[in-house]
Amino acid sequence: MFVDLSKKRVYVVGAGTIAKRRIRSLCEFVDCVTVIAPEVNPELNKMEKAGDIQILRKKYESSDIYDAELVIAATNDHKINEDIYRVCRERGILVNVCSDKDKCDFYFPGLITRDDVVVGVTANGANHKRAKAVTEQIREILEEC
């Protein structure tokens, strides 16, 4: 299912490697992503200056995500990720805990975009290598079209 996320309030808690990948993917489909992290790297600073993301340079607090419609928990702290999951469950917010596929309402597919075509490939969070291989095969096919 593809959902129009353009006007949704999307939050990413964390700013590490996985968080950056998720943020890059989301920015293709969301008007603005809010990132919550005490420190961010130069790439995210550039994205903020370009207006692609908003950064709250602070430690996460439960109330930070109360108005969210979709949340990515991408910290390296199990307790924080667990709290994010709990808050989202209580408030009916869709959540993806990057470190625990059982705590994900949705998965990030491998994305291929070409002109006005978007293809998403997933293995339901189970076989990332296979999903990546299929994504690359589809990318090659679309480049030939």
Confidence (pLDDT) at 58: 98
Q: Which amino acid is at 92?
A: G
**pLDDT tens-digit map of 62-109:** 999 999 999 999 999 999 999 999 999 999 999 999 999 899 999 888
Asked whether the predicted pLDDT for residue 43 surpasses 80, the reply is yes
CA-nearest of 91, 71, 86 to 14 is 71
Residues 6+ positions from 140 with CB-CB distance below 8 Å: none
99 secondary structure, DSSP code: T
Confidence (pTM): 0.88
In three-state secondary structure terms, 91 is helix
Residues 6+ positions from 6 with CB-CB distance below 8 Å: 29, 30, 31
Angle at 11 between CA 9 and CA 17, to 5 degrees: 145
3 secondary structure, DSSP code: -
Asked whether the predicted pLDDT for residue 2 surpasses 90, the reply is no
Confidence of residue 125 (pLDDT cuts 50, 70, 90): low
